[in-house]
Amino acid sequence: MCGRFALKATEEELRNVFGYLGDAPGTEGMPPRFNIAPTQPIATIRQAHGARRFALVRWGLVPGWVKDPSAFSLLINARAETVAEKPSFRGAIRHRRCLVPASGYYEWHRPSDGSKQPWYIRPRDGKLVALAGLWEEWCDPDGGEIETGALLTVAANASLAPIHHRMPAVIAPEDFDTWLDVGGTSVKEALALLRPAPDGFFEAVPVSQRVNSARDDDEALTDQVAVQETSAAAHAQPTRQAKPAGRDAGQLDLF
């Protein structure tokens, strides 16, 4: 699964890469994020009215049919192999597909000794990557609306499988329009785009255990450390406090 990721890009860089039109609320003075966690807002690009549009959604999908979100386990990932069959996702894969910009993501390797070692996995070329996502809209009885989202995952490629058996699905730039065109692209065609990134597309580095805390959000989290030194690094690295993730985090609190 993918439970944390980073996005260190300006609004101008996002617009240049993803080609969306209109306003991008919440991105004014946008600082980099190095430890985006579930329940926090995430940047997405969707297609609406014939053009790509930017939107912030809360990470952790809540299907529209859920009566009480507080009693529902948020869905941060959806498996590509079963997404079209699961009641929680089959409406979104047909009608509400999106792209999720990222600079890299974190994964935890769990060796047989029971320990957990975090790794930061980033595109080898240093560019932004588009993760495949879904979004949903939930309405409360009083008419309030909240948009939520999830990341799609696939089997890991050979180079990343030693760390974890799953990885986020990556949408190539030439496939952006096909993926986002929910009116013209069938579910079968969309699912065909959900495949592991090629071996060598990503590089992975071991990082500090500090990433385990969603309150830590600074660039040092992505720095490579020696595996045997990660426990000590958790106490040695400087910390910048971010707003803690919470179930009621508002959409405009991402930055």
CATH number for the domain spanning 165: value is 3.90.1680.10
pLDDT of 141 strictly over 90:
no
| Structural domain of 241 | 4-253
Q: How far is CA 224 from CA 77, 127, 188, 239, in A?
A: 26, 18, 39, 16
> Which H or E element spans position 112?
none
pLDDT value for 228: 59
pLDDT band at 81 (very low <50, low <70, confident <90, very high): very high
Residue with tokens 């990721």: 5
Q: What is the mean pLDDT of the chain?
A: 88
Tell me the mean pLDDT in the region 232-236. 40
Percent of the chain with pLDDT over 70: 88
Helix, coil or strand: residue 176: helix
Helices (H) and strands (E) in the chain, counts: 5, 12
Say how many domains are in the chain.
1
Section 11-20 average pLDDT: 94
107 annotated active-site: yes
For residue 242, name the pLDDT band (cuts at 50, 70, 90): very low
Distance of CA 244 to the CA centre of its chain: 17
Q: What pLDDT shows up at residue 39?
A: 95
Catalytic residue (choose from 2, 98, 136, 147):
2
Tokens, residue 46: 């969707």
Task: Check residue 29 and give its pLDDT.
Answer: 66
CA–CA separation, 23 and 121 (whole Å): 30
pLDDT at 245 > cutoff 60: no
Which one is catalytic: 98, 107, 136, 147?
107
**Phi, psi angles (nearest 5°) of residue 90:** -65, -25
The pLDDT confidence band at residue 44, using thresholds 50, 70 and 90, is very high
Residue 2 among the catalytic residues: yes
* Consecutive H or E run containing 105: strand 104-109
Q: Classify 165 as helix, strand or coil.
A: coil
Highest mean pLDDT among 17-26, 174-183, 233-242: 174-183
